[in-house]
Structure 1
């Protein structure tokens, strides 16, 4: 994915916790320093409304209008007022009157309360939470991964777990006020698994829900997914595709699913490298191949650009029969198109 403007690693909900990053996560982050979740959230840019004006093209006068308000970052606006300039532009967006500002503390403050109360194996979730916050577009777009050490799936033969949590984010540009969905990260290879629950989205327009209830419902879903994920993986490990008997290669398998060539090649390379045989590959290994490609080599942005491929990835694990049928149908369609072109060419001679 495109590199963010900045990253913040956090561990523990607030200063009352003494949380350390899991060893597997710390090693992959190069020993970077972490802060608490509460500190990281309160360090994120805020948005406030301010009056908008336009310049009359005939008089060059600036005329205020009540039809719109600008969204600006207040600390940057103060810096511009006192120093004459700011390191980053204070303006985020000029929305319509129906736009509702939802600042990060409004969303994640209620989550902090829940994490202090809810437990896993007798330990508050706030004591075992960790993750990363990524900022884009001057901090006006934010995405984060929140995981819980101990809420996990452990596979036989692996020392590092698949750790469960949520991925969440928001922006001040009118796309979405806030979203959240189930998420997991494989400590064995750092591959990320997204959209493990339905994506919940709150838009900038319309009523704002009670975020405490919202988070309670989402965390309950994540716990249920954690219980089921091991079974899905175990079933996927029992389904083998023998590519020596199939009319397409491993790379073509991913291409037929809709991956661009550069991702299909990366996914195939990883799947073949981790399979017992480069010809007979189980569905879990095929799924790991494309999560590897998306996690480490996707060239687009987080959000809709990434989501279009996440659904394909998840179908491999959660609906392998449907995936195989889809590949077969796409292949047959290409064969039919080829034969039609061939018949058309023959008609010219």
Structure 2
């Protein structure tokens, strides 16, 4: 992803918990100056409301209106008095917009983290992660992980650490949100959007964030169990690319990846296998590797679309196969000759694809119902 304007690494809830970054994460971030989560939240820019006016083009007078309000950063507004180049404005929404500042969202989380334990330690002690700021701090995303809350796969490999991704903005583009998240310690791949995104809109009565967070953290252990089961089953389903009419990179393009990401994903998936038979977990790992380390865009937008395509490999392979077949068939039909006949090579390729799909579909049918359960863990 494109670099954030500012990134803050945190460990532990506050000064009393004495949290530390896990060794693998400290090496990955090269940041030894982690601060407590509570301090990091209180450093984030806040928003406040002020009145606005519009200029009448005929009288050239400024007319105040109650239908809109300016959302500004108060500290910058004070600096603006001395320096006109300072920009304190975030957004000018209608009067129905409710400001939700970071402490409104995450202070209630702090209380829940103190009271929730994993292996005899509070989540506040074992929490760590990073906060990313964009657009002058008006857009914020964060990964919150919990050391020890993990998926341990068979074999001598590093575990997968569980957590959540959360964020908000003051521009009307993102409601306050949270969704399941995991980091594969073995390869530093981020597994995003494990659950459906839970949101709180900047409208009307905001409600109790404490109860909201309680429900989410209660579901996190179940998400961990679900993820283990999906990975275990996905490792049993292989695609033999010696039997398909396309190579691994083309497969990733068929599920919607751009060429540069498809090539990176294919390189990673092939590097983890000796032959051309690649299981769905490795294909998913290749996809998350490409998205974590080589995606050229920013958070949201196209990244969310690619994450969904990657996750279907693990959670709903039948949907993936349908997308691959449909896209490949459309490409084959686009190459028909003047008589409307599909070329022999394309006909053979489609027959190959149907055989592969039939074999895999029998094993993949069980995934869809279980995916629905996983998606609703935070609901």
CA distance in 2, matches of 1:310, 1:172: 24
SS at 1:214's partner residue? helix
SS at 1:253's partner residue? helix
SS at 2:99's partner residue? coil
Aligned to 2:26: 26
Question: 1:1-349 to 2 correspondence within 5 Å?
Answer: 1-81=1-81, 83-85=82-84, 88-277=86-275, 279-339=276-336, 342-343=338-339
SS at 1:343's partner residue? coil
Superposed displacement of residue 59, structure 1 = 4.3
CA distance in 1, matches of 2:235, 2:331: 29
Superposed displacement of residue 29, structure 1 = 0.8
Superposed displacement of residue 306, structure 1 = 1.5
In the alignment, structure 2 segments of 5+ residues that lack a partner are 343-379
- 1:235-255: CA deviation from partner (whole Å, max 9, x where unpaired): 111211110111111011111
Contact in 2 for aligned 1:102/1:177 (Cα 8 Å): no
Superposed displacement of residue 2, structure 1 = 1.6
- 1:153-185: CA deviation from partner (whole Å, max 9, x where unpaired): 122334422100000000000122300000001
Scaled by the length of structure 2, what TM-score is found?
A: 0.86
CA distance in 2, matches of 1:318, 1:344: 37
Superposed displacement of residue 75, structure 1 = 0.4
In the alignment, structure 1 segments of 5+ residues that lack a partner are none
SS at 1:281's partner residue? strand
Query: Alpha carbons of 1:158 and 1:57: their partners in 2 closer, same or farther (altered >3 Å)?
Result: farther
Contact in 2 for aligned 1:134/1:143 (Cα 8 Å): yes
- 1:166-220: CA deviation from partner (whole Å, max 9, x where unpaired): 0000000012230000000111111101111111011222432311111111112
CA distance in 2, matches of 1:342, 1:247: 23
Superposed displacement of residue 320, structure 1 = 2.1
Scaled by the length of structure 1, what TM-score is found?
A: 0.94
Aligned to 2:376: none
Contact in 1 for aligned 2:8/2:131 (Cα 8 Å): yes
CA distance in 2, matches of 1:112, 1:204: 21
Query: Alpha carbons of 1:89 and 1:297: their partners in 2 closer, same or farther (altered >3 Å)?
Result: same
- 1:91-140: CA deviation from partner (whole Å, max 9, x where unpaired): 00000111111111001110000000000011100000000000000000
Contact in 2 for aligned 1:158/1:188 (Cα 8 Å): no
SS at 2:207's partner residue? coil
Contact in 2 for aligned 1:148/1:163 (Cα 8 Å): yes
CA distance in 1, matches of 2:340, 2:314: 40
RMSD of the TM alignment (CA)? 1.7
CA distance in 2, matches of 1:45, 1:230: 38
Contact in 2 for aligned 1:24/1:160 (Cα 8 Å): no
CA distance in 2, matches of 1:45, 1:158: 43
